[in-house]
Amino acid sequence: MAADLDIDKEPPTIVIRPSHGWASLNLHDLWRYRELIGFLAWRDIQVRYKQTALGIAWAVIQPAFTMIIFSIFFGRLAGIPSDGLPYPIFAYCALLPWQLFSQAVTESSNSLVANQNLITKVYFPRLVIPLSTIATGMVDFVIAFGMLIGMMGYYRIVPSQAVLMLPVFVLLAVAAALAVGLWLSALNVQYRDVRYTIPFLTQVWLFATPIAYPSSLVPEEWRLLYGINPMVGIVEGFRWALLGVGKAPGALLFVSTAVTMLLLGSGLSYFRRMERTFADLV
Amino acid sequence: MGEIAIRVENLGKRYRIGTSVARYNTLRESLSDDVRGLFRRGRRRTMEDGDGEPEDMIWALKNVSFDVKHGEVMGIIGRNGAGKSTLLKILSRITEPTEGRVEIQGLVGSLLEVGTGFHGELTGRENIYLNGAILGMKKATIDCKFDEIVAFAEIEKFIDTPIKHYSSGMYLRLAFAVAAHLEPEVLLVDEVLAVGDAGFQKRCLGKMEDVAKEGRTVLFVSHNLAAVRHLCTVAVMLSAGKVQYWGHVNEAVAHYEAQIITGSTGQGPLSVLYETKGDFTKTEFAITRLEMLDEEGRAKPSVATWDYVCFRIHYHAQHSVSEASAELSLASLEGISLLRCSTQPDSNVRMGIQPGHGIVDCVFPQWPFAAGRYLINAALALPMKAYLCRLEEPAILEVRARDVFSSGQMMPEASRSLLAIPHRWKI
* A9 in contact with chain B, both atoms CB, cutoff 8 A: no
**Quick one: closest CA in A to B104, which residue?**
A14
Q: Note whether residue B171 is domain-resident.
A: no
Q: What is the pLDDT of residue A57?
A: 83
Q: Tell me which of A10-14, A164-168, B32-36, B180-184 is least confident.
A: B32-36
Which residue does chain B place closest to A279, by CA atoms?
B95
Residue of B nearest to A47 (CA): B121
Cα(B326)–Cα(B319) distance, integer angstroms: 16
Assigned domain for A21 exists: no
Name the residue with higher pLDDT: B292 or A277.
Answer: B292
**Residue B410 placed within a domain:** no
pLDDT score at B279: 67
Does residue A1 lie in a domain region?
A: no
- Domain check: are B38 and B73 in the same one? yes
- What distance in Å separates residue B379's CA from the closest CA in chain A? 23
B345 CB-near residues (< 8 Å, 6+ apart):
B325, B383, B384
Residues B276 and B240 in one domain: no
State whether A276 and B27 contact (CB < 8 Å).
Answer: no
- pLDDT band per the 50, 70, 90 thresholds, residue B426: very high
Place B308 in a pLDDT band, splitting at 50, 70 and 90: very high
Same domain for B367 and B235: no
Q: Residues 112 to 141 of A: which have CB under 8 A from any B CB?
A: 117-124
Single out the residue of A88, A81, A82, A98 nearest to residue A67, CA to CA. Answer: A88
Which 60-99 residues of chain A touch chain B by CB within 8 A?
none
- B95:A280 CB<8 A: yes
Instruction: Dump strand ranges (E) for B181-320.
Output: 186-189, 217-221, 234-239, 242-248, 272-275, 285-293, 303-304, 309-317
Which CATH number covers residue B251? Answer: 3.40.50.300
Residue B413 to residue A277: CA distance in whole angstroms: 42
Q: Is A217 on the interface with B (CB under 8 A)?
A: no
Is A15 within 8 Å of B112 when comparing Cβ atoms? Answer: no
Phi, psi of A79 (to 5 degrees): 65, 40
Contact across the interface for B102 and A190, Cβ inside 8 Å: no
Q: How far is B129 from A36, CA to CA, in rounded Å? A: 10
User: Is the same domain home to B188 and B334?
Assistant: no
Residue B71 has pLDDT above 60, yes or no: yes
CA distance B393 to chain A (A): 15
Q: What is residue A260's predicted lDDT score, i.e. its pLDDT?
A: 93
On whether both B227 and B352 belong to a single domain, the answer is: no
Q: Which is more confident, B351 or B80? A: B351
Enumerate residues 227 to 246 of chain A having a beta carbon within 8 A of any beta carbon in chain B.
Answer: none
DSSP code string of A175-199: HHHHHHHHHHHHHHHH-THHHHHHH
Q: Is residue A63 part of a domain?
A: yes
Q: How many residues does chain B have?
A: 427
**Considering CB atoms only, which of A3, A123, A281 is closest to B92?**
A123
Let me know if residue B207 belongs to a domain: yes
Q: Are residues B283 and B238 in the same domain?
A: no
Beta-carbon separation of A121 and B116 below 8 A: yes
**Cα distance from B29 to chain A (closest Cα, Å)?**
10
Domain for residue B141, yes or no?
Answer: no
DSSP string, B342-356: ETTTTS---EEE-SE
Of B262, B290, B315, which residue constitutes the final position of a domain?
A: B262
| Residue B340's CATH number | 2.70.50.60
Q: How many domains does chain A have?
A: 1
Taking the Cβ of residue A11 and every Cβ of chain B, the question of whether any pair is shorter than 8 Å is answered with: yes
Q: Residue B287 is part of which domain span?
A: 272-400
Distances (CA, A) of A131 to A44, A127, A139, A180, B94: 12, 6, 13, 12, 19
Closest by alpha carbon to B234, among B249, B250, B254, B255? B249
* Continuous H helices in B214-327: 225-231, 249-262
Angle in degrees, 0-180, between the axes of helices A166-190 and A230-243, rounded to the nearest 10: 150
Instruction: Examine the domain organization and report whether B297 and B346 are in the same domain.
Output: yes
Separation CA A11–CA B103 (nearest Å): 12
For residue A39, tell me if it sits in a domain.
Answer: yes
Mean pLDDT of B98-114: 86
Best of A17, A111, A113, A273 to substitute, by most chain B Cβ atoms within 10 angstroms, is A17
- Pick B184 or A9 by higher pLDDT: B184
CA dihedral B223, B225, B229, B232 (to 10 degrees): 10
For residue B138, the chain A residues in CB contact (below 8 A) are 3-4, 35
| Residues B385 and B297 grouped into a single domain | yes
d(CA A114, CA A282): 10
Contacts of B229 (CB under 8 A, 6+ apart): B75, B249, B250, B253
Domain of residue A136 covers 27-281
Residue from A43, A44, A112, A120 to probe the interface with B (highest B Cβ count within 10 Å): A43
In a domain, B162, yes or no: no
Q: Does A52 touch chain B (CB under 8 A)?
A: no
Confidence grade of residue B372 (pLDDT, cut at 50, 70, 90): confident
**CA–CA gap between residue A62 and residue B252 (Å, rounded):** 63
Do B320 and B395 lie in one domain? The reply is yes
The residue in chain B having the minimum alpha-carbon distance to the alpha carbon of residue A4 is B138
**Is residue B55 domain-resident?**
yes
ipTM of the complex model? 0.82
Average pLDDT over residues B25-37: 55
Query: Does a structural domain hold residue B120?
Result: no
The number of C-alpha atoms within 13 Å of B256 and in the hemisphere containing its C-beta is 27
A93 located within any domain: yes
Mutate to test the interface with B, among A4, A13, A16, A188 (most CBs of B within 10 A): A16
Q: Rounded to a whole number, what is the distance in Å from the CA of A4 to chain B's nearest CA?
A: 7
* A3 in contact with chain B, both atoms CB, cutoff 8 A: yes
Average of per-residue pLDDT across B183-203 = 73
- Cα A129 from Cα A115, distance rounded (Å): 8
Q: Which residues of chain B are within 8 Å of residue A193 when distances are taken between CB atoms?
A: 26-28
Strands laid side by side in the B4-16 sheet: A13-16, B99-105, B4-16, B57-69
What pLDDT score was predicted for residue B402?
A: 87
A82: Cα separation from own chain's centroid: 25
Task: Output the furthest CA–CA distance in chain A (Å, rounded).
Answer: 68
Q: Which of A6, A15, A35 to mutate to test the interface with B (most CBs of B within 10 A)?
A: A35
User: How many structural domains does chain B have?
Assistant: 2
Q: Are residues B257 and B276 in the same domain?
A: no
| Domain presence at residue A8 | no
The 10s digit of each residue's pLDDT in B218-267 is: 898 887 777 788 888 999 999 888 898 899 998 888 888 777 655 554 55
- Could you tell me which residues come within 8 angstroms of residue B198 by beta carbon, excluding any fewer than 6 positions away? B415
Residues B38 and B94 occupy one common structural domain: yes
Contact residues, chain B, for A128 at CB < 8 Å:
none
How near does any CA of chain A get to the CA of B378, in Å? 24
Q: Which residues of chain B are within 8 Å of residue A39 when distances are taken between CB atoms?
A: 129-130, 133-134
Task: State what percent of residues in chain B have pLDDT above 70.
Answer: 84
A175–chain B nearest CA distance, Å: 25
pTM for the structure as a whole: 0.72
For B45-57, the pLDDT digits (tens) are 333 444 444 556 7
Q: What pLDDT, on a 0 to 100 scale, did the predictor assign at position B41?
A: 41
Among the partner-chain residues B26, B121, B139, the one whose CB lies closest to the CB of A192 is B26
* B226 and B373 assigned to the same domain: no
Helices (H) and strands (E) in chain A, counts: 12, 1
Would you state the pLDDT for residue B51?
Answer: 43
pLDDT string in tens for chain A (282-residue length): 333 433 444 557 888 888 776 666 678 888 888 899 999 999 988 888 777 778 778 888 888 898 899 888 888 888 888 877 888 898 999 999 999 999 999 999 989 988 988 888 888 899 999 999 999 989 889 999 999 999 988 988 888 888 888 999 999 999 999 999 999 999 998 888 888 889 999 999 998 998 888 888 888 778 778 888 999 889 988 988 888 876 666 778 888 899 999 999 999 988 988 888 888 877
Give the closest-approach CA distance of B111 to chain A in angstroms.
8
Q: Do residues A81 and B157 lie in contact, with contact meaning Cβ atoms separated by under 8 Å? A: no
Closest approach of B40 to chain A, Cα-based (Å): 24
